[in-house]
């Protein structure tokens, strides 16, 4: 079985958050969705569980940070620079906040960060596949 990640996030308005993630391209898994939580699928191995504050409290007594805090930055890889820009723009147009951190461009890698409606920060990044393999466009690795 492949390793998987389930990111759990407390949200103030489940319907609003579900719509936000769907607008970014996440797909809802109704098998794990009810009126207290929704399972939003990014890939075969990445799932985001958005939980009402009441549901969240069943798992921890720790306080939920306010939306202006920085509890964690989650990073998703994208297939292109255009996808990075597109997701950032979609976040801004659907209740999130685009460019909550300065955009990064290192030539072989680019990233932007946005916040969802509850202030959870997502970084979306693209990296040139040849940089990952050690190849360059002019010199393939031997």
Residue showing tokens 């300065």: 102
What tokens appear for 136 in the block? 């360059």
- Is 45 found in the same domain as 108? no
Going by C-alpha positions, the residue among 126, 7, 127, 15 that lies closest to residue 72 is 7
Lateral strand order in the sheet of 109-115? 73-77, 121-127, 109-115, 97-105
User: Which of 38, 60, 82 represents a domain boundary (last residue)?
Assistant: 60
- Is 140 found in the same domain as 81? yes
Q: What is the pLDDT of residue 134?
A: 60
Answer whether 24's CB lies under 8 Å from 87's CB: yes
Residue 93: alpha-carbon gap to chain centroid: 15
Counting residues of the chain whose pLDDT is more than 90, the rounded percentage is 81
pLDDT in tens, 55-108: 999 999 999 988 888 888 999 999 999 999 999 999 998 999 999 999 999 999
Note the pTM of the prediction, 2 decimals.
0.83
Helix (H) or strand (E) holding 60: none
- Is 82 found in the same domain as 46? no
**pLDDT-derived band at 142, boundaries 50, 70, 90:** very low
- Is 129 found in the same domain as 84? yes
What tokens appear for 51 in the block? 């939980």
pLDDT at residue 141 greater than cutoff 50: no
* Total structural domains within the chain: 2
pLDDT in tens, 32-61: 999 999 999 999 999 999 999 999 999 999
Q: Please give the residue range of the domain that contains residue 95.
A: 67-142
pLDDT at residue 30 greater than cutoff 90: yes
- Is 53 found in the same domain as 112? no
DSSP 58: T
pLDDT in tens, 10-24: 999 999 999 999 999
- Is 142 found in the same domain as 74? yes
Cβ-based neighbours of 71, under 8 Å, separated by 6 or more: 65, 120
């Amino acid at each position: 079985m492949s390793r998987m990640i389930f990111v759990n996030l407390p949200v103030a308005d489940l319907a609003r958050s579900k719509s936000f993630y769907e607008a970014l391209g996440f797909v809802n898994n109704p098998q794990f969705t009810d009126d207290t939580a929704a399972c939003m699928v990014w890939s075969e191995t990445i799932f985001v569980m958005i939980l009402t504050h009441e549901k969240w409290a069943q798992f921890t007594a720790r306080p939920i940070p306010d939306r202006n805090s920085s509890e964690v930055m989650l990073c998703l890889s994208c297939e292109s620079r255009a996808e990075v820009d597109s997701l950032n723009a979609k976040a801004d147009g659907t209740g999130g906040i685009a460019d909550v951190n300065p955009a990064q461009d290192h030539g072989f890698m680019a990233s932007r960060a946005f916040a969802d409606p509850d202030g959870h920060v997502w970084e979306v990044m693209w990296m040139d596949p040849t940089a990952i393999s050690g190849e360059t466009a002019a010199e393939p690795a031997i």
